[in-house]
Amino acid sequence: MHSDKTRFSIIDYPLISVAVVDDHKLLAGSLSWIINESGIAQISAVYHDLKSCREGLKKEIPDVLLLDIELPDGDGVDFCAEITEIYPELKIIMLTSYKEFNIAKHALHNGAFGYILKNSEPEELIAGIETVNMGEQFLCEEIDVLLRDKRKEEVVFLTNTEKLVLKHIADGYTRKEIATMLNRDEQTVKTHWRNLMVKLNAKNAVVLIKKSYEMRLL
């Protein structure tokens, strides 16, 4: 990515401290290795849920926070708005598999400095960390193209779980009832429900169902 590696001398350029919030431990471990080997950044903390991240930030604030969207105890996009209000100096990069226009737009609106897909190249991740640390926005190539092409807003991809949740919403079930049917906790169903609202740009369940039929998702 950079031919002049002396640029990243620890003496001249202090390492950027990075914290990771991701419930997939293998992925978090891989990210830690990539970042620690980069020569420009180092891992200061790894969290597997939002609760531990909240507690950790009270003790130490990293330069950059890599934040997943779907976590066991909440939605990373909502959490982004929450912690940028408390720690305005913290630079957040959403690191996720979601590549929908509305979700990316909402994350940036909530204060994220960057948005990177988990299938991005390691070089792109490191470039993102370096860029947002300087206070500049960074989007991985795929998301940059997505945001530039307004027509992509009409393309919606739903996970298998989201499809099930959507069907149950259309059938008139409550979040609690859906959680029971899917054997999931209610908070997880709430996250899927909210993702559906964002993806389809719906203000309420009625609009969500209407758009779902129009887009042949039901």
pLDDT at 6: 40
CATH of residue 52: 3.40.50.2300
Return the H-helix or E-strand segment holding 71. strand 70-71
Boundary residue ending a domain (105, 134, 149): 149
**Domain total of the chain:** 2
State pLDDT tens for residues 12-54: 568 999 999 999 999 999 999 999 999 999 999 999 999 999 9
| Co-location of 91 and 184 in the same domain | no
For residues 89 and 58, what is the distance between their CA atoms, to the nearest angstrom? 14
Owner of token pair 């609690």: 176
| Co-location of 168 and 138 in the same domain | no
Domain of 63, in residue numbers: 5-149
Tokens of 136: 């500049």
CATH of residue 173: 1.10.10.10
Tokens of 20: 């990771």
| Co-location of 122 and 193 in the same domain | no
| Co-location of 135 and 44 in the same domain | yes
Q: Is the pLDDT of residue 7 over 50?
A: no
| Co-location of 92 and 135 in the same domain | yes
Grouping H, G, I as helix, E, B as strand and the rest as coil, residue 85 is helix
Q: How far are the Cα atoms of 52, 143, 209 from residue 148, in angstroms, in the given order?
A: 36, 8, 27
| Co-location of 13 and 106 in the same domain | yes
Confirm whether pTM is higher than 0.85.
no
Tokens of 149: 């092409």
| Co-location of 92 and 170 in the same domain | no
State pLDDT tens for residues 106-137: 899 899 999 999 999 999 999 999 999 999 99
| Co-location of 40 and 76 in the same domain | yes
